Structure formats: structure tokens, C-alpha cells
Structure 1
Amino acid sequence: TTLVRDADDDAARMRPSPTPKDAFTNLVAQARRSVGSALRGDDADAFFFPSKILGAFAISVLAIVTLFTAAIAVLERLRVAVGTADARALRTAFSGVDALEDLFYRTFGADLFVSETSFAYGQAYRLHDEFVSLSSTVLAAASTGMTVGIVTFFLAWLVLLLDFRSQVLDARRGEYQFDKAMVKLADASNYMGIQISNGLMTFLIMTVIITAIVFPIGWHVTRDLVASYWLTILNLLWPSLLNVVIKKTWGYGLATSDTPFDHIRSRSWYHAYDLFQSFLQLYTGIVTALVRFVLVVVIALLTLPRIDRSPMPAWVERYLLLDTGSKAYHASIRQYAEFNNP
């Protein structure tokens, strides 16, 4: 048995890994089979989604529609509040100009020049334009965020359904993509609530993040602010940009070579490059640390919609299996396989 298992492992290691194109083609074919089977009411693989999965999807869609409707109502109240603030600001500005004209007439016995009153009214209308711009930008950013949140929600569900089908079919052959010994069947009861909550959190978080990204890009005030400080921003970034160019030319071109394998081409060039990088990294290392932090946040956000994958580091999941969501999902796969293969 050990020799057979070793031979299978060797064959699996020697098998070429699928290219991204092959993986995408397999995913599309799998989606077509799943959708076609659902429409026809049969399945060549004798696979049907359990009621728990379909029920979680139906409740999630209902919850998302309710949340989306509530978000639309909040945006409408926000639009009304901004309009009310705009009208109040205009009335206050016009009243201030009238009071200033009366004060000037009582003090000097003459009216203000038209140029002064026109300037004051112009500033009031400019404030009105800023309120209108702010309101339209907030609405556009929030609409974009909710659209992305809805699309992310349905894409996450599509990937989960395809992955569930694939893993269940693999489980029939005794192949599991997770450590079967660490996943308990009783944890499958946690799946439905976690899946619904995860879908809602995905929609909310993606909506907030995309709105926060689109708003400063769409509002002309923040664009003008960035444009006014572009030299300062460039001065902060140019060492990192220069470091990229130096690595590509000096480090990868002169000091080392990739053919026929990665090796040092010239020791003198390599030592000079290594010394130069040691000093340059004193500054660029700060940027690198910030980039690492941003990448960690982005990866965590990208993995959050997928309950079939744990957002925890692999070495943590290998020994502790902390993520309750992926654990409940894998337990559901085990439960389905247990019922079909007692």
C-alpha cells in the first residue's frame, strides 16, 4: 500500500501543472455542465446540490436585496440632508450680505458697490455648487460601491458552487483538498449561518471600500489637492522608482544572469550592487514595508468573499485550523460525501 501511494505521489508530482488558460477553460466547462444539469434536472455525475447550500443561497439573496434597499433609502436621506444644508447655507449667505449692506448704509449713508455685493453673492453660489458637486460625487461613489458589492457577492457564490461540486466529486474518489483528520462532521451545522453572514459582510465591506476609493477620485477638491502636491509626492516616490530601474538593469542585467540558470555574472559588479542596495534600502525599505501592509490588507479583502478558502496563513491553518468558515464548508463536503458513500 505504501509503495502504491508513493507511486501515485510521484506521478502527481510529474504531472504538469495546468496553465491559467487550462484552468479557466476547465472552470467554464464545469460551469456549463452544472448549469445545464440544473436546467435539465439530471446530472451525468449523479451530483445535486444539497438543500442546505441552495437554502443558504436563497436566504443570502433575500438578505442582500433587503440590505440593498436599505442602503438606497440611506442614500436618499443623505441626498435630502445635503440639499437641506445647501439651502440653509444659501439663505444664511444671502441674509449675511443683506445685513452687511444695511450696516454699511447706516454707517456711511451710502450703498455698497455692486462689485462687492456681486463678489459676495458669487461666493454664495460657489458654495452652492460645491454642495451639489459633493452630493453627486457621494451618490456616484456609493452607487459604484454597491454595484461592485453585488457583483462580488454573486461571483463569490458562483465560485463556491463550482468549487463545492468539484470537491465533492473528488471526495468520492477519496481525494480531499484539506486535511480530513482535522475537519469534524459536526462542524457542518455551522455552515448555513456563516455563509449568509459572510455574504452580507462581503457586500458591506466591498461597498464601503469601493466608495472610499471612488469618492476622492471623483471629487474635484481632492483631485486638485493631489495635483497641487504632485511634486512632493513625486519626491517621496522617486527613490523607489529608481530602485526598480536599477534592479532591472544593474542587478538582473549586469551583476547576475538567468541563463542557463540564475548565477552571479561578475563578482565586482555584484558586490558594488549589493553595497549600493544596502544603503538605498534604508529609505526604500519604508516604502516596501508599507507596500507589504497594503498587500496583506488587499489579500485579506480578496479572500474574505470566499468561504471555501481560509484567509489565515497556511502555516496557521495547517496546525490550528482557526477559520470557522472554511472549516464549516469543508465539514459540509465531508458530510455530503459521508451521506453518499456510507
Structure 2
Amino acid sequence: MLTGLEQLQSWFTVTAQSLFQMKRQLDKLGELVVKVTYESDPIPLQKPHLEERVKYLIYHLIKSSFVVEKQPCMPTHPQKPLIIKTGVQFTTKVRLLVKLPEVDYQLKVKTTFDKDLPPGRVSRQFFILTNNTKVMDIEDYSNGWTQLSEVLSWQFSTFAGQGLNKDQLSMLGEKLLGQLASCSDCQVSWSKFAKENIPGKPFSFWMWLDSILELIKKHLLPVWNENYIMGFVSKEMERVLLKDREPGTFLLRFSESHLGGITFTWVEHSENGEVKFNSVEPYTKNRLSALPFADIIRDYKVISDGVVPENPLKFLYPDIPKDEAFGRLYNSQPSKGVSTR
């Protein structure tokens, strides 16, 4: 049972989630109007007003969620308010009741004193012992992985139109928690989720995940919503899945080493039975802005030892013919460009 500020924080956070979801839906409406509209379409007329209204509500909700959690108190009697005297130092504790990645990142707090007092009030002079502007120290908190995984799936569902399945969430859990991911009630701290870098990488788990969401929304939405992107699968599991498949079987996954990158890997079998796996450098937003991902898959070719270029991609995992899967997503005429190896 939540009480006091914990209950308020729950209400503020749920309201903020709803407002940010409205903002994303308005963004999608804007993208839709660019593609399809008609005479007397109400969206172009009403959308600016709705956007301003949502921004206004978000601004005032976050502003109202900033509260003083701990007032200055007597050192020997913490339950009593501090009697301010000359030369006495005191501290206070503030808190933001909205707990979302969108508003927790690099939040700054500036301390000021109101010098415009009503007539008859005595003015005291205060001195701030440190810099008056600080990055807010968000108090570290944790959630169980089961609860967090539901939120992540919801985030993908609202932002990209398709949630995450059990296997995808399992891989994310292993990436974030390692072997502890099998423990459903394992706690994930805010620092580990959004602040600390992934081991061996110059970015945090949330930065990596957020860059993937952005890539899907801007460049991969049709392919993602067809469930053609396996997405979250380790290189080790990728090989396990592909090794017994037909030559030319490939799968699509998000890069673990780049922010906002997608790659594909296919399997080949040599005459002596040796299994070989081939992967390409991740495609990022810069490359995907020039050519749709479905067209890249269709036109990808390999030159090997002077042999006529051919596309090694035959079947989307597990066994869907490439053109059957992506045919209706092709947007342009086949390209003559090749990739060499």
C-alpha cells in the first residue's frame, strides 16, 4: 500500500506517461498528414492547438511535481522545524514526483532567494555554500525485472506500434542483468538502467534502447510491425538458430556495439559441411535515410573471387522466402549497387 509521497509519485508518473503517449500519437498524426490528407481535413487545423495544449500540461505537471521532501529541521529534534538563526547552516531535500526517463536525464536545480518581500517583512541575507546550480541527484530506486520488462514492452508498443515478445525481453534481461535475469523478482536500479555504461560500451542500457526505438520509428516501422525483425538476440544465440537452416537463411537483429544500428546475418554451408556465418556492418540512420531497409535487403549482393554478383539472402528466418516476406515493402526499382567481400 503506497502512502504519502509514494502514492503521489505513482499518480504523477501515470499521468505523465499518458501525456507523453499523447505527444507521440500527435507526432504520428503529423507523419500521416504528410502522406495522406484531403479537403477540410481537421488534423492540420487542430493539431497545432492540441500540441500546444499537451506541452502546456506536461510543463505544468513536471513543474508541480517538484516538491520539498525534507524541510530544514532542528539537528537534535528532526521532527521539529528549524529555527533560523544568524550563522546557522541548514540543508533541505527536494524531489521530483515524475519518474520517467524523459524527465530524469540531467535535470538541473537552481537555488534562488526571493528578495521582493511584502512591506513590513524583515529581509535576511542567505549565502549558498556551493554553486547555486546543480545537476539533480536523482535518488536511486529499483524495480523488479518483471515489472520493468512490462514497461519496456509497453514503451515499444506505444512508440513503435509493436510490443516485445518473451524471447526479446529475455535477451534484454540477460544484457542488463546477466545470469540474474532468470530471477523474475531481481531488482534493477535506476543507475544500472539509465546511468551506468554497459560493460565495454560507451553508453548506457537506456541510451542503447532509446536509439533503437528512434531507429524503428523513423526508418524500420513497416518491417518491425510485420514481426520480421528478431531484433534482440545475442550473437551466440544467432548462430544456434541459423546453423541448421537452409543456406541463405538470415535474420535481422539490432547492433549491440552501435547506437541505433541494425544488421543481418546469414548462414552458408561449404561442400565439406562446414557452417559459416556472415554479417554486415550495422545500418544506421544515415544509411537508412538514403534507401529503405527492405530495398537494401532486396538489392544486397556479394562479389566473391570474380564470380557474378549474387544476393546471398534467400530465406528470412525460419524459412520465409525473402521476396514473399518483403515484396510488398519494396519502394523502388532494383539497384545495381553491390557489396564486396
Q: Normalising TM by the smaller chain, what interval? A: under 0.3
Query: TM-score scaled to structure 1, two decimals?
Result: 0.22
* TM-score of the two chains, using structure 2 as the length reference: 0.22
User: Which has more strand, going by share of residues?
Assistant: 2
Higher relative contact order (CA 8 A, sep 6+): 1
Rg larger for: 1
